[in-house]
């Protein structure tokens, strides 16, 4: 059981800073805070990489299917 002298010790308090996710520092009445969509280069990058990724995924699936069929035929 805790003694009386142990109860009078101070407790430790941890303080965690709170960060805001909206970047409004330096803003004000005349601040220009434009939230626009993705840039043209980002859209082109997605449109270019999406078919390439799909093609590679399809080739990986065909390779896996061929491996499984080959193992089924080779295993007695």
5-61 residue pLDDT tens: 656 666 788 888 887 666 555 555 655 656 689 999 999 999 999 999 999 999 999
Whether residue 27 contacts residue 33, with contact meaning beta carbons closer than 8 Å, is answered with: yes
pLDDT(74) > 70: yes
Give the pLDDT confidence score for residue 18 in this predicted structure: 82
Whether residue 33 contacts residue 24, with contact meaning beta carbons closer than 8 Å, is answered with: yes
How far is Cα of residue 45 from the mean position of the Cα atoms in its chain?
Answer: 19
């Amino acid at each position: 059981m805790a003694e009386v002298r142990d109860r009078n010790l101070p407790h430790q308090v941890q303080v965690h800073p709170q960060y805001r996710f909206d970047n409004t520092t330096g803003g004000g009445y005349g601040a220009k805070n434009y939230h626009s969509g993705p840039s043209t280069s980002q859209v082109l990058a997605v449109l270019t990489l999406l078919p390439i990724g799909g093609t590679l995924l399809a080739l990986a699936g065909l390779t896996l299917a061929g491996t499984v069929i080959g193992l089924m035929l080779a295993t007695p």
